[in-house]
Amino acid sequence: MFPPVLKITILLALLSWLIIPIINDARAKRRERENRKESEATAKENRRLEFVRFLKQWKTEVELFRHPTHIGTVGSHPVEIKYREKVPDFISAIHQAHIAFGNGQFDALTKRLAGLDGKDFNQGNPRGVILEAIDALLKFAEKT
């Protein structure tokens, strides 16, 4: 009926018609997976850099802060008041950056900075206490 060469040609054509889409699909899935990993890595790095930027900005604000002519809350140092105003923004930044760091040391350093209280500030140098905590976290964030 059909010559053997034609049978082989038809068989190969049918096989290629079935196999080529499977191969192309596998390649596309691999590319998507690689792109996703690359995007995740870029997102982590961007969050890390944004967190470092936030810390540097906060450090500069604390360093440059000068006492106002009037003191708001009786018994609180003005730098402490300024610190407490920034803590909610810091907590928000922690949530954004946690994916980039997400380990025990990051958690410990952020809890230290977010949890400064009267005992820490009563050491006589509230600005130094805040800057010390920021510097420790910055050192960690920049090397990660």
Greater confidence (18 vs 59) lies with 59
CA distance 39 to 50: 16
Whole-angstrom CA distances from 79 to 25, 57, 61 are 60, 15, 10
pLDDT exceeds 90 at position 14: no
Residue 72, pLDDT score:
52
Inform me whether the pLDDT recorded for 123 exceeds 80: no
**Spatial distance between the Cα atoms of 115 and 126, rounded to a whole number of angstroms:** 13
The fraction of the chain above a pLDDT of 90, given in percent, is 51
Across the range 132-144, mean pLDDT stands at: 93
Q: What per-residue confidence (pLDDT) applies to 68?
A: 58
Token pair listed for 56? 């540097």
Rg, C-alpha atoms of the chain? 29
Name the percent of the chain lying above pLDDT 70: 92
pTM: 0.74
Identity of the residue numbered 99: I
Average pLDDT, the chain: 87
List, for residues 45-101, the tens digit of each pLDDT value. 999 999 999 999 999 999 988 865 555 555 567 888 889 999 999 999 999 998 888
Predicted confidence at residue 59, as pLDDT, reads 94
